[in-house]
Structure formats: C-alpha cells, structure tokens
Chain A
C-alpha cells in the first residue's frame, strides 16, 4: 500500500436541521486502496461519502483531495466521481451518451471522447450495448454503465454508494469480484459505502466501521474479524458469541477469566485488564469445537437447534445457567436436537473486551 494520502478528512462535522449527523470526523485514505465505510443505515456513512464528492457541504472541518483543500470546491469541480446507489443513469441517453456525458461537460474533443468512451465500455464488458437505453439493460449491466461513466473521467477517487445493493445475491457476488479486479487494474482509490458486511470483508483493503457518525474501528478485514475492538464491532461483523466474564487473575501474556457460571479459562491478550474486572469475551461460532464425547476442559450442553447449511452445520447449544452458545461445525457426524454434547473453547481464539 502506498502511503500517499489521497483523501483527508479533518475534523469534519455535518449538521442537518440543528442535529449533528457527523461530528469531528477524521480519516486518511491512501492512494490506490479499496476502503469501505461500513455501518447500518442512518449511521452517517453516506453523508461522509457525499462530503467527499462535494454533493454535501461540510458544516465545519476540512476536506483535502490530493493535498488540495477542496472544502469550498463545488462537486462539479472535484476530481472524484460517484457511482450512485440506483446508478442514476440518465434515462433519455444511450449507454454511450451516458458514459460520454462527463467528458462532454469538460468540453473534451469529440475524437478523444470516442476513444475514452469505447475504452471504458470495453473495460466493463459492455461492447455492443453502446446504443441501448438504460431501461433495456439488466441491473448488472446498468451497474457496469454507471461504473464506466465514473471511471471514464479518470478520477483520483471513485466513490461507490451502496452500489451493489439493488442487485440480486448471485449477481452481487460476481460483481464484488469484478469490482475488486477492476480497482486493482486501474489503481484508482475506491471508497465504498455499504451496510453489507460480507461485501466489506471480501473486497476491502481496509474497513472503517461507522456507528452514530464515528469510526469505531479502522483496520484490515482480517483484523476486524479476528480482533474486534469492541462489542459493537464484534456483533456487527459476522456471527459472534458475546459472553460476560470476570477477570480472576492476570497471567503471563494474558488473563484468567471465569465465565458461563463456573468455567475458568486462560485467554491470551496484550491489553491490560484489572483483577476482578467485569468484561465480555467474543468467540466466533467456528472457533468452538463440538463433540459427542467429553474432552478435557469441555463444557456439557444440549443442542436446542440444528440447521444444515451446506458446508457446515450451525448449532445452538444450551449451557446450564441459561446460556445459548452458537457453534458452527464442519464435523460430518450427525448432531440432533436434544442431544447432549460437549463444547470446547480455543484459548487463542477468544477476544476479551471492555464493556
């Protein structure tokens, strides 16, 4: 990853009707990276995007693109382009006219436009569709036109606002791969906004998880998944068991905690916790082993729900003391409901978090 900051948000705030949607938001985005702003609807992620594109003015703070202060520069003149959620293709223009629109606005020579447009259309594999109108295209094709319309401008940054949401699941998966490929090929910085965590995890170089207008964690997908910084992130990304626990004592390179009533376990962690502190621990369902035979350090429970999902079986196991633990196993043995089983935690894969 290059260290060149292409977009810099400095203490940016945005007020709508006297209410702050974004307050003192700062973020550096590097040239050539694929960064995703992930959060539930209404968290302010789209507002951040719109402040970068210039479609929304900031209430206070500064926006830099390529080291230039663009805080007061109109969207028309910023060297970033947006792929809108519903693509916003101009309905009365053909594919070609749509893609050429921005270049025409810049009064680029017609010959040059021809060349760039056909290159962009080629790139998104829409050759032969140049003279079609948007309403004649499928959702996936419309998406491609929108992308071509953005990249033909050769922007420093491409902003994608929930751009895959309106596509069906299968198409979304294949577009995810294509988008990622395209981004690598072009080397353009992509800022992607979504509420779908699977998209964020599979495409991004970095993910910024946003909640209530603030970044709660900014990291690579792997780190976010394996080392969530707090309960919100753990809960938001993937499936997780979030279990209350108490620190019993500090040990070398970690802590010893008590959870699920009387179960004691050592956890590795670099963070400092106090003895007697009430904390939460996060365990991913696939990080819990399940067996029909008792093992050393295992806990007994009853399967109350079992669903088969192709490559794994998802179980909900009731532990005495009214805890429901989610477990995902690839074990071929048949687990039936009401069956007694034993679960075992892997002390390397438990993440302790402050409340």
Chain B
C-alpha cells in the first residue's frame, strides 16, 4: 500500500506544482498588479485602484483596441475564405493525399515564425521581388507600398496563422460522412444549399476552433506589426509590450492583459457552446 501511495504521488504531484506555480500564480499576480499603480520610475505602488481598467477606455487606447480587433477580424475572415475551398477541394481525396497535404502545411512551421516573416520583407519591400516583378511586367510604373502599412501586417498575420485555420477546417471537413452529402443531394439540395445546410453546421466547431487560434494571436503578435508595419501601427500586443518594456507601467499592462484574458474566455465559452472540444484546440 505504501508503494501505491508513492506511485500516486509521482503521477499527481508534478501537475499540482506545475499548475499552481506556472499557471495560477502568474495570472493571480498580474490580476493583483492590475489593481496597483506605478510611479514614474516603473516602481509599483501597492494601492488598490480601478484606474488602470478605466484608462483602457480612454479614446487613445480604445482606438488601438478597435484597430487591433479589426486586423484580427480581417485576418480571421481571410483565413476562413482560403481554408474552406481548400478543404472542400480535398474532401474526397484519398487519406494518403490528405495526410501528405497536412504534412506540407506543417513544414513551414518548423522554421521560426520571425524568420518567415523576414522572408516577407524581401518579397514586399519597395525594391523587393514582388514590386520588381510588377514593374518588369509593366503592371505598375512606380513601386507599390506593400508593407509598413495595414496591408503588410495582414499579409504577415494571414501567413503566420493560416495553418491554424487550415488544419482544423480540413480535419472537420474531411470527417464529414459522405452519405450526408449524398442524402442531401438525393433530397434535391443544390451545391450552395448543401454547403449552407450540411457542411457549415457539421464544421462550425472546426471553424470556430480555427478562428480562436487565429484571432487571439493576431491581436497579440507584436513582432509582425513591428516588422511589417514598421512600428506605425499598434495592436494590443504592442501596447502590452510597451507597458512592460518601455513605458514600464506594469499595472496598466497587466490590466490590458486581464482584459484580453476575459475576451479569450468569452470566446472559448462560445466555442464550447457550439459543440467544440477543448482537446481539439491548438492541436495539429
């Protein structure tokens, strides 16, 4: 019996320690910080206040939140618009091909996302490959502004996050029982009706899974706005980064983070209501 106790301890203690020290403690601490204020040197003043949360609703910050959400939504929609046809085209292909395609989607992931984003600079900048190509092809006389603006940011975000949409949509589309499609056809449904009535309801949790895994990073990936936005456009990620590293206003940064966590939880709740499973999130 003593052996059993040791056995159980080995299998349960690490997760207890991990959860409380590396998940609960950090989050509780920034929750605590979010109700403090900071002095002009970045020191923390331990006085209870709601001011950080009120500050989020300043016009300056609201604008950043709004622009950030806009980039997130545009990125998510573009990813959905690419992923659905992609998955539908491959739906009836053999498991062998589907497996291969999934692997091919994953390969770019094996290089660091920052390095891949850098690849886009070579492509998008004024004297970059795309502009040179357009000029040589006579499609434009002077180089287009493809980066250091919102376009560049969205390209970078879509590029970095597309696989997170492709993979769940593919797996949910591939799982649709073909009998359902045939039954709908048999009952007189046209392709668009089949898509609306059968395919969307069957894959909605996959789509929302992808949307979660695209939208949430898209409002936080400050390095993409830094590199492809040229520091001109700020998203929530940049705002938090600045509060922690430049402005050194940790309490305000924490408040924004808590705000983000609340939004995330609401989205996850919605995902679960649509029939999504937690275990499917973020998996490949």
Q: Do A and B touch, yes or no (CB under 8 Å, in the complex)?
A: yes
A84 to B180, CA, bound (A): 9
| B108 on the A face (CB < 8 A) | no
**Would you give the shortest CB distance from B137 to chain A, in whole angstroms?**
42
Query: Chain A residue with minimal CB distance to B193?
Result: A105
Task: State the total of A-B contacts with C-beta under 8 angstroms.
Answer: 60
Q: Which residues of A contact B183 (CB under 8 A)?
A: 82, 84, 88, 90, 149
Q: What is the chain B residue whose CB lies nearest that of A92?
A: B201
Q: Which residues of B contact A105 (CB under 8 A)?
A: 184, 187-190, 193
B186 CB-CB contact with A under 8 Å: yes
Inter-chain contact A102/B187, CB cutoff 8 Å: yes
Interface residues of A in 48-94 (CB under 8 A from B): 53, 55, 74-77, 80-82, 84-86, 88, 90-93
Bound: A80/B183 CA distance, A: 12
Bound CA span A93–B185, Å: 16
The distance in angstroms between the C-alpha atoms of A166 and B233, with both chains bound, is 60
Given A91-B202, A153-B187, A55:B193 Cβ within 8 A: no
> How near does chain B come to A104, taking the closest CB pair, in angstroms?
8
Contact A88/B188 with A55-B182, A101-B197 known, Cβ cut-off 8 Å: no
User: Residues of B contacting A101 with CB < 8 Å?
Assistant: 184, 187, 189, 197
Chain A: minimal CB distance from B193 (Å): 6
Is B177 part of the binding interface, using a Cβ–Cβ cutoff of 8 Å? yes
- Given A76-B188, A101-B187, A149-B187, A90-B182 contact (CB < 8 Å): no
CA distance A76 to B190 in the complex (A): 7
Please give the distance in Å from B181's CB to the nearest CB on chain A. 9
**A170: B residues at CB distance < 8 A:** none
Q: Which of A81-126 contact B (CB under 8 A)?
A: 81-82, 84-86, 88, 90-93, 101-102, 105-106
Contacting residues, chain A, for B56 (C-beta < 8 A):
none
* A75 lies within 8 A of B185 (CB): yes
Asked whether A106 and B202 contact (CB < 8 A) given A55-B182, A88-B180, the answer is: no
Instruction: Name the interface residues of B186-200: CB closer than 8 Å to any CB of A.
Output: 186-190, 193, 197-198
Q: Are B189 and A81 in contact (CB under 8 A)?
A: no
Residue from the list B180, B185, B201 in contact with A55, Cβ < 8 A = B185
| Whole-angstrom distance between the Cβ of A33 and the nearest chain B Cβ | 21
C-alpha gap A84/B186 in the complex (Å): 10
Instruction: Report yes or no: A102 in contact with B201, Cβ–Cβ below 8 A.
Output: no
CB-based nearest B residue for A77: B188
Measured between beta carbons, the chain B residues less than 8 angstroms from A153 are 187-188
Q: Check if B186 sits within 8 Å of A90, measured CB to CB.
A: no
A88 to chain B: which residues have CB within 8 Å?
A: 177, 179-180, 182-183
Considering the complex, give the chain A residue whose CB is closest to the CB of B177.
A88
Separation in Å of the A51 CB from the closest CB of chain B?
Answer: 13
Q: B182 and A84: CB pair below 8 A?
A: yes
Residues of A within 8 A of B179 (CB): 84-86, 88
Cβ A81 vs Cβ B186 within 8 A? yes
* Residue ID in chain B nearest A79 by CB atoms: B188
List, in ascending order, chain A residues with CB within 8 A of B182's CB: 55, 75, 82, 84, 88
Measured CB to CB, the closest approach of chain B to A317, in angstroms, equals 47
Closest chain-A Cβ to B79's Cβ sits at a distance in Å of 23
Q: Least Cβ distance of A168 to chain B in Å?
A: 21
Chain A positions within 8 Å of B186 at CB level:
53, 55, 75-76, 80-82
In whole angstroms, what is the CA distance A201 to B198 when docked? 37
Q: Which of B177, B180, B183 has the most CB of A within 10 A?
A: B183
CB distance from A158 to the nearest CB of B (A): 11
With contact pairs A88-B180, A105-B193 given, residues A81 and B202 touching in the complex (Cβ less than 8 Å): no
Known: A55-B182, A84-B183. A102 touches B188 (CB 8 A): yes
Shortest Cβ distance from residue B205 to the other chain A in the assembled complex, whole angstroms: 10
Judging by beta carbons under 8 Å apart, are B188 and A92 in contact?
no
Find chain A residues with CB under 8 A from B201 CB. 90, 92-93
A76 in contact with B189 given A88-B180, A88-B183, A101-B184 (CB within 8 Å): yes
A92 in contact with B189 (CB, 8 Å): no
Query: How far is it, in angstroms, between the C-alpha of A59 and the C-alpha of B197 when the chains are bound?
Result: 31
Chain A min CB distance to B185 (Å): 5
> Which chain B residues lie closer than 8 Å to A91 at the CB level?
180, 202
List residues of chain A with CB within 8 A of the CB of B185: 55, 74-76
Cα–Cα, bound, A62→B197 (Å): 32
Q: How distant is A102 from chain B, measured CB to nearest CB, in Å?
A: 3
User: From residue B178, how far is it (CB to closest CB) to chain A in Å?
Assistant: 9
A84, chain B: closest CB distance, angstroms: 5
Assembled-state Cα–Cα distance A87/B67 (Å):
48
Chain A window 14-58, contacts with chain B (Cβ cutoff 8 Å), 1 for yes, 0 for no: 000000000000000000000000000000000000000101000
A11 to B171, CA, bound (A): 41
The distance from the CB of B145 to the nearest CB of chain A, in whole angstroms, is 45
CA separation between A294 and B59, bound complex, in Å? 110
Q: Which residue of A lies closest to B181 (CB)?
A: A88
Among B185, B186, B202, chain A packs the most CB atoms within 10 A around the CB of B186
Q: How far is the CA of A92 from the CA of B203 in the complex (A)?
A: 11
Chain B residues 18-66 with CB under 8 Å of chain A are none
B residues in contact with A92, CB < 8 Å: 201-202
Query: Cα distance A106–B188 when bound, in Å?
Result: 7
The residue on B at minimum CB distance from A102 is B187
- On chain A, the residues within 8 Å of B190 by CB distance are 76, 105
* Distance in angstroms between the alpha carbons of A76 and B184 in the assembled complex: 8
Given A88-B177, A105-B190, 5 more pairs with CB closer than 8 A: A55-B185, A55-B186, A84-B183, A88-B180, A92-B202
Offer 22 A-B interface pairs, CB within 8 angstroms, sorted by A.
A53-B186, A55-B186, A76-B185, A76-B186, A76-B188, A77-B188, A80-B186, A82-B182, A84-B182, A84-B183, A86-B177, A88-B177, A88-B179, A88-B182, A88-B183, A90-B180, A101-B184, A105-B188, A105-B189, A105-B190, A106-B188, A153-B187
- Pick the 6 closest A-B CB pairs, nearest first: A102-B187, A88-B179, A88-B183, A92-B201, A105-B188, A105-B189
